Structure 1
Amino acid sequence: MASLGLITIAATPVVAQGLDYRSPDAAPPAWGQFAKLVKYRFEEWIGADEAVANRFRGWLKETGGTANGAPDSLIVKAWLNPDGSVEKVSSAPLNDERANSDLRTVLTRGNIGEAPPPEMLQPINLRFSLKIAKD
């Protein structure tokens, strides 16, 4: 879990069931390790001290706990290229188009730093808990 100023973001891998579903217990250990690395990178990028990430965290802080604001949690699906760059991400839409755009921008402009393991199923599904941290 990363504390990002007043925002706490925790991400855990989530498995989406489908034709290529593999339970976490049956998945190769390298897949779980890589998912943890993706989670770590996403947390770093969301917590970065730069304009888009700061604006996204500001929106979370302003709207968290309100009826039309940030949800308590969000599942982000990520597709990665063989070089470790993020090809695309998707999630349920937030109630603010700028926040949607900011989140996509932050999560797609970086490189994880490693290639996905061979034959790893994609997308990688991560659940983020978006909550205001207590001081």
Structure 2
Amino acid sequence: MERRGISMRMSLLAVVLSFLAACASGPTPVPPEAPEASRRSSQVPTPAVPPDSSVAPVLSPVDSLLDEARVLREDGDLSASFARLERALRIAPQRAEVYLELARSHVAAGSPERASASATRGLLYCSPSICEELRRLIDP
């Protein structure tokens, strides 16, 4: 009876070891494509997207937030505009566009000091096209 238990344990150990050995070996390499398959795939034309396509470009989350903030500011909803800009700052604290829009919203809210501070911060990250706009908001 005891031999049977030892035999069962040895069999179980062999199964476990072979399973572990199979897991330890890497994946099997994929053979390269056959030449005729690559020739066929190169003959399939790639559909061209017309330049006047009605597909809208996908905006990044920060760009979407900036667009929303602009619209809200123009509509006079400054608290919602600031909320979008705070989210944009948390996502991309080094985007000059966020500081530019924040400065514009502070101007609209009647806070020129805050607008100047936001614009000054944006100068740390700006590109030449945005730097000029930020400088105009520092000392109006």
TM normalised by structure 2 equals 0.21
Q: Greater RCO between the two (CA within 8 Å, min separation 6)?
A: 1
Structure label with greater radius of gyration = 2
Hey, which of these two has a bigger chunk of strand by percent?
1
Hey, which of these two has a bigger chunk of helix by percent?
2
